[in-house]
Amino acid sequence: MSAIPCNNILSIIIPAYNEEEAIGNTLRAALKALPRVKEQTRLDEVELIVVSDGSSDRTADIVREFKDVRLIAYEKNRGYGAAIKTGFAAAKGDYLSFMDADGTCDPEFFSRLVTGMKETDANIALGSRLHRDSKMPLVRRVGNALYALLLSIMSGSRVHDSASGMRVIRRECLEWVSLLPDGLHFTPAMSSVAAFDAEVKILEVPMPYYEREGESKLRVVKDGFRFLKAIVETAYSYAPARFFSLAGLFLIALAFFLSVPVIGSYASTHAIREGLFYRIATIITLASIGVSCILLGVLANNSVDLIRKKEHRSPWKITRFLNRFLMPYLLTAGIIFFCAGIYLVLPGLVTFVQYGTVELHWIFIVTAMLFFWTGSNMIFFYFVHLLQTLVQKKQQR
C-alpha cells in the first residue's frame, strides 16, 4: 500500500541489484549530500530508500548498516523499473526521485533537479548525461545519442538523453508511471511518454556522470533492442500518424528516387525500355504502400484521439492537413484509381472478348492491379474515417 503523501518532501529511491561493490560509497555520498539538498531546495524532508532487487550478494546487508536508510528487499529479481515502482509505492514524498546505485550519479545534483522542477513547473526533471565532460563509455554514448535522436524525430520534441538514471517526478505522475515496463527500458519509456504527451512537461539539466563501480548490468544488444522497442511502442500508442507517416514518406521518397531514370529515359527517347518495366512495378508498389501507410497513420491517430476523447487535432501539421484536405475526398480518389486501373486493362479485356486472347503487356496488368489495390484501400480508409467522424460528433453532443 502506498504511504500517505506529504507536501514538500523528496523521496530518493535507489534500485540495487548485486551492487555490493558500489552501494556503500553511494549511500555515504547520498547521506552526506542530503542536508545540502534539503537546504538548497527548501524541502521539509528528504528520505532515502534502497530497493534490493533480488540481490544474491551482500547488497542488502550493507544497506542495513545505514540506520538512516530504509531498505526494501525481495528475493526474486523483478527488474530495474519494478524496483523503482516498488520504492515509489512505499515513499511518502510528493517529489519522487531515483538514482542509480553504481556511483555514476552525484546525489547533490538533486538540488538542481528539484529547483528546476519548481521554477518551470515541470512534471519530470532529469539529469542529461550526454555532454562533453561525461564519463560514459563511447559505445553507450553513441547508442544513447541515437535513441535520443530517434525519439526527437518521432515526437517532434527535443530530447537529449532518453535513458538517464537520475530523475525527479511529481507524485501526480504515478498513475501513468506505474504502467511503464519493469526492466531497464523503464527510463526510455518514461522519456518517450513525456515527449509524446503534451500534458507531461519534462526538464533536462546537464549533470556530472562518472565511471561506475563494479560490473555493469546493462547488456548492450539485448537492452538496446528493449530501449528501441519502448520508444517505438510509445510512438505508436501516442502518435501513430508520425510512426506510419515517416515510413510512408520514406517509401514515397524512395519511389521518386527510383523514378528519375525512368522519367529521364522517356524524356529523351519518348519510349520506355523493356528493362525499366521491373523498376516501374517497384516504383508503383513502393508509392502505393507509402500512401497506405500515411492514410493508416492518420486513421490510427484519430482512433487514439477518440480513445483519449480528444478532437482530431494532432500537433503534427501534416496530420491536420490530411484530415482536412485529403480524408474527405478518399472515396473520390479511390474511384479514380479504380477507373485508371480499368483504363489500363480495358484494351486487353476487349481483345479477350473479341478473340479469346489477351495481347497486353504484363506491366499494364501489374500496374492496374496496384491501382485497384490502392483504390480499394482509399475507399476502405474513407469509410473508416467517416465512422470515426460520426463517433466523435456523438461524443461531443
Mean pLDDT confidence for 260-286: 79
Report CA 208 to chain centroid distance, whole Å.
Answer: 26
More confident call, 158 vs 203: 203
pLDDT digits (tens, 9 = 90+) for 373-390: 888 888 877 877 776 676
Confidence check: pLDDT of 8 > 80: yes
pLDDT of the residue at 215: 64
pLDDT of the residue at 125: 93
Contact 240, 229 (CB under 8 A): no
pLDDT digits (tens, 9 = 90+) for 80-133: 999 999 999 999 999 999 999 988 889 999 999 999 999 999 999 998 888 777
pLDDT of the residue at 86: 96
- Closest C-alpha to 371, from 348, 342, 337: 337
pLDDT digits (tens, 9 = 90+) for 203-250: 999 888 776 665 666 666 776 787 788 888 777 777 777 778 888 889
Could you give the 3-state DSSP secondary structure of residue 12? Answer: strand
Mean pLDDT confidence for 158-166: 86
Confidence check: pLDDT of 11 > 80: yes
Residue position matching grid coordinates 507536501 = 7
Would you place residue 312 in the very low, low, confident or very high pLDDT band (cuts 50, 70, 90)?
very low
Confidence check: pLDDT of 316 > 60: no
Spell out where the chain has E strands: 6-16, 45-53, 70-74, 93-98, 124-128, 167-170, 202-206
Confidence check: pLDDT of 5 > 80: no
DSSP letter at 358 equals -
pLDDT of the residue at 3: 47
Contact 185, 230 (CB under 8 A): yes
Mean pLDDT confidence for 310-329: 62
The three three-digit cell numbers of residue 345, written as one number: 486493362
